[in-house]
Amino acid sequence: MLQAFSPDEPPDNMEYHIHIHKVVNDALELTHNPPEKITMSELRAAMLDNPSYGASGMGDIPGFILKLAWTSIKEPLLNLFNASLNLSYFPDKLKISKVVTIQKPGKRDLSQIKSIRPISLLPLVGKTFERIILKRLYYHNPKWASDMQYGFTAHHSTELTNFNLLSSIQNTLNQRGKGLALISLDITGAFDRAWHTAILHALHQKECPTYLLRTIKSFLTNRTATLYYNKGFSTHDLSQSTPQGAILSPFLWNVFIDSLLTSLTNKGFQVQAYADDICILIPYNKNQILALQQEIDKAINAAIEWGDAHKVSFNDKTTYCVHNSSRRDRNQKYMETPWSDL
């Protein structure tokens, strides 16, 4: 089951894969000035953000114990984190995941792997270090993701996402002779299949400081996970994914997926995303259905091309297209696409 949740990284089968490996390796070799030391106030703020109670990782110490012991552990922790940042190293012991599963909303058949979601329980000391790294990242660049991304983004919410989506639909349908096609993309596995090299490449393109780029590479590599399920357990080395439950994972996912949103936008499509849920809006004239089919094919082919380059695929069973119209044309036929009949 753990192998199904976190499969091994697919092989490099495109020149682009080899190219970005080289770009990332060259970026990691760049010289840089020593990072500013983590201050005690940074450490304290990160520690206080940890929950006092709740599930903990492998052999982990609960949050309330760490906070009670603050005066005794603050200096050793500060020295540990500063040494780790200077070495651009995320300690392996702080990356060991205890994976538990929860039922996905609306899924009843728990015998199906797609009905359950893996959650990584990680050491709170490691999460404290993650919070410091994340704050440093936003200090260097307050805007890592585009405006098209509503998930894991400050001052955004599901309500705002739905409002903007419905407003776009309504504004189009209010125009005489106009309809709207909405394509909903579903990335297979999403977080569990995020390619590490592509994440690092995206960070480098967005001018991530070298010491943070190296630290995130260390955070992503040499990870192990132990899944507990049905009174048994198994351990697996992770070669890809951003573990669900880690502090840095939502940020890294947004960085990873941003190039898809930008690519679609540059091709003239209106795009809106909430984490891994991506919608493409295509307005069309009702008397130009052939042109609509061409635009749908163009959008889906662009998504497939991006997926091939980034070692992810789209689920053809849950990726769909919906036609919206103020008055549906009864003679309109469903259209063939690279995946299936929509």
pLDDT tens over the chain, length 342 residues: 555 566 678 888 899 999 999 999 999 999 888 999 999 999 999 999 998 887 766 667 888 999 999 999 999 999 999 999 999 999 999 988 888 777 777 777 766 666 777 788 889 999 999 999 999 999 999 889 888 898 888 878 888 888 888 898 888 888 888 888 999 998 887 778 889 999 999 999 999 999 999 999 999 998 887 877 777 777 777 777 788 789 999 999 999 999 999 999 999 999 999 888 899 999 999 888 899 999 999 999 999 999 999 999 888 777 777 876 665 544 444 444 444 444
Orientation of helix 15-28 relative to helix 210-220, angle to 10°: 120
Tokens 């599930």 found at: 55
Instruction: Find out whether 146 and 262 touch, Cβ atoms under 8 Å.
Output: yes
What is the C-alpha separation between 11 and 311, in angstroms, rounded? 9
Neighbour order of strands in the sheet with 178-186? 270-274, 277-285, 178-186, 320-325
Q: CB under 8 Å to 331, separation ≥6 — which residues?
A: none
Q: Could you tell me the two tokens for 306?
A: 């991006």
Nearest alpha carbon to residue 66 among 124, 131, 126: 124
Q: Could you tell me the two tokens for 3?
A: 């192998």
Q: Where are the extended beta strands (E) located within 187-261?
A: 223-229, 232-238
Amino acid 331: pLDDT? 45
Taking each continuous run of H as one helix and of E as one strand, the counts in the chain are 11, 8
CA distances from 317 to 186, 314, 337 (A): 9, 9, 13
What is the C-alpha separation between 61 and 66, in angstroms, rounded? 7
Q: CB under 8 Å to 58, separation ≥6 — which residues?
A: 96, 97, 98, 121, 123, 226
Q: Where are the extended beta strands (E) located within 211-319?
A: 223-229, 232-238, 270-274, 277-285
CA 295 to chain centre: 27
Task: Note every long-range contact of 302-305, with CB atoms under 8 Å and residues 24 or more positions apart, other chains counting.
Answer: 302/263, 302/264, 302/267, 302/269, 303/185, 303/260, 303/264, 304/338
Instruction: Find out whether 253 and 191 touch, Cβ atoms under 8 Å.
Output: yes
Amino acid 111: pLDDT? 64
